Amino acid sequence: MTLIGTLHLTTHQLIFRHPQEEMWILYPTIHTVERRPLASNGLWPLLIKCRDFVFVTISVPSEREAIDVFESIQKLTCIKGSIEQLYAFFYKPPSLTANDGWHIYDPLVEFDRMGVGSKTRAWRISYKNKSYELCPTYPRILVVPDKILDSVLTHACKFRSKCRIPTLSYLHWSNMASITRSSQPMVGLKQNRSLQDEKIIEAIFQSTALPPTPSGQPVYGSTATNLIIDARPTANAMANVAMGAGTENMDNYKNCSKQYMGIDNIHVMRESLGKLVEVIQNADVQGLPIKKHHLDKSNWLKHISSLLESSLVIIKNIHVNSSHVLIHCSDGWDRTAQLTSISELCLDPYYRTLRGFEVLIEKDWLSFGHKFSDRSGHLSNERYFITSSTNAANNAFNSMQNKLKQSHVREISPVFHQFLDCVFQILAQYPERFEFNEHFLVTLHFHLYSCQYGTFLFNSEKERNDYKVMTSTYSVWDYINSNKEQFLNPSYDYGARDREEMGDKGVLFPESDWKKLKYWASLFDKRDEELNGEEMVEEASPIMARSLWGSDSPVQRSSSPIGISNGIPWNDEQSQTITSRISKNLNLDIEDPWRDNNTHENDELIYDEPVKSLHHKESSNELNAMVQNFARITLNLGVQAVSNVANILDAASGNLNNNTNDNSNDFDPQSSLENHESRSGLREMVSFSNKTNSITNSPPSKSNPFSSLKSWNTLSASIGFPTTSLKSRENKRNTFPTSEIADSATTTPPISPRTEPHPLFLYDS
């Protein structure tokens, strides 16, 4: 199917317009743009990979135009200077019914709800950090033990990394057991200690008395089991000692014990997600089903399992043992945020409501200084814009240059993504205990990278106040709460199970065995059975080459003698059997969006199997050689130029078919292509513009981003992306909500008719 449209580059979005639909890509969601060499179809492809797992290919007719588009996207994506140039500072949404997004979380109200100052007098509010002088990455309002004076906090902060002292995050409603958080202690090789730090932790662990024991009834928690949770692997914690940090010397801390949770660092998590995405993308490119055991090699579910298992330790110690938990990792803003928020989500039913979950994110992620901008890569880097070449030496040189620029990339990691994945796992296990649905989580993941709202901008509460985010941007919670009906869970029981006398009293104990967890299919725009279905033993198929032909092919055909579209075999009456497995077997060392390509020890190379024929060995051997050679060239240079393979298969098999009595007219190539489109979700698009080649240097209008359009003279481009993103009205992750961009799309360059478009059939990357 060919769609004629226009490609626009505005100040903040890439827009592809055609009569049926619009496709919007916000520049901050772009991770990688790769400009590849001339394809066999005569076009110059640009591969765009997005952080929300959208992959598209744009092809233009000339190298000059390809360079022009490539460099323009690079300049618009890689913002140099102030973060105030991001879209959130210009975006003006339509009228929103909710307008209290910036005031969803009030620390005084939230800690009062927990019981600080009412149910217990063991804690107090401290304003020592009101001007962020004590700790610039902490919130202004801190809750500390009532026995601890502000002067003690001043001395104790020097002993904790980034001055992140132990402070209250959560008080449990049933027993006043606490979850506190901090960063690692600065122990070092000299085994330093801080009497003030020890005094704070001792006061935390003595903040509640043990519950009385009813006569004749055993009660959990009769013996305190206060825990210091070090989220890191033991080896990592010990290695930090050489850098002047480390972990607590338990000889100095009384009435508690310490446990290491073994959660890997941000670099391991980034590598794991990269491998997961690579498996899914390669399967899409090859048109093959996704193998679950290949997904398992990424260890992604094992990392999710580690987070859930660690949270279970905290949940049981708080609720069952009525004891306190202090959590930290290295700096206390990644793994610490994950464990505190997951544990609180399971302990308190309030956080499983829509508003309560918003409060949870504001409290444990935003106010306590998770580095959203750094971890999400909001300010992109030029190293993500890659120019590939047919020259292997040039590619090696470019790859080496990219690897020398690691500082920006090493900060990026899917930390908040993992938290949302854990919430998805718990939601799947307890579907009636959450007010919000899965679509809510997917929407949050998208806006984590979109920079459309100011909620997830910057790295701390202080930075958001310095840049006046609350007055200059809109909150994502206003958008969520204005469209609340989209994000509500129809299965929610409104706390009925929480009130049952013999129930769990609102505390959830999620399954943590990684073999029983699920891959989050909808986040990758997949069906659940595609990622989590049972694997079937493959049987020999008449056609295993997942090849397609495009109408741009030089070979003219009214019909094809072989049903190769989407791997569909010949008619059962046909006597020939041709089997071939064409797989990716070259590593071009081009970095994928979520993966460091420094190590490939787990990569699996799948080698080509020979093409076989039951009756015509000579022709089959010739066909085999042609397919083997061409497959390595076309399928591994980075473009899905499968029409070339199809031409070879078509021409060679045509000779075979002349020796048979089968009727080739039984195969309908058009219906086969339609079937392929419906099954693999691929669509073909051709865009062009007859505008003059100029770019406006004037500042963009907030109401009309087209004031900064970049257009190209007779630019012909093709773009492929999943059909489901266009057809589905329920999932608009890949298509910008019309209501949100109406003010930005009031002016559109006219679409010029084209007499002889170049129809293409391209894979989405």
**Binding site residues for substrate, as ranges?**
265-266, 329-335
Under a CB-based contact definition with an 8 Å cutoff, are residues 203 and 148 in contact?
yes
Q: How far apart are CA 690 and CA 543, in angstroms?
A: 43
Residue with tokens 């969520």: 480
Instruction: Please give the C-alpha separations between residue 462 and each of 243, 334, 428, 623, 656, in angstroms, as whole numbers.
Output: 27, 18, 36, 66, 72
Q: How far apart are CA 18 and CA 709, in angstroms?
A: 16
Q: How far apart are CA 180 and CA 177, in angstroms?
A: 10
- CA dihedral angle for residue 335, residue 338, residue 341, residue 342, rounded to 10 degrees: -120
- CA dihedral angle for residue 657, residue 583, residue 57, residue 378, rounded to 10 degrees: 170
Residues forming the active site = 329
H or E, element range at 473: none
3-state secondary structure 554-608: CCCCCCCCCCCHHHCCCCCCCCCCCEEECCCCCCCCCCCCCCCCCCCCCCCCCCC
**Nearby residues of 16 by Cβ (< 8 Å), 6 or more positions away:** 5, 6, 7, 8, 22, 23, 685, 687, 719
Strands (E), 278-361: 325-328
| Token pair for 141 | 């309002």
Q: How far apart are CA 203 and CA 145, in angstroms?
A: 6
H or E, element range at 13: strand 13-18
Under a CB-based contact definition with an 8 Å cutoff, are residues 653 and 576 in contact?
yes
Neighbour-count burial for 303-323, b at 16+ CB within 10 Å, e otherwise: bbbbbbbbbbbbbbbbbebbb
Q: Which residues make beta-bridge pairs with 558?
A: none
Q: How many CB atoms lie within 10 A of CB 394?
A: 12
Instruction: Cite the annotated binding site by residue number.
Output: 265-266, 329-335
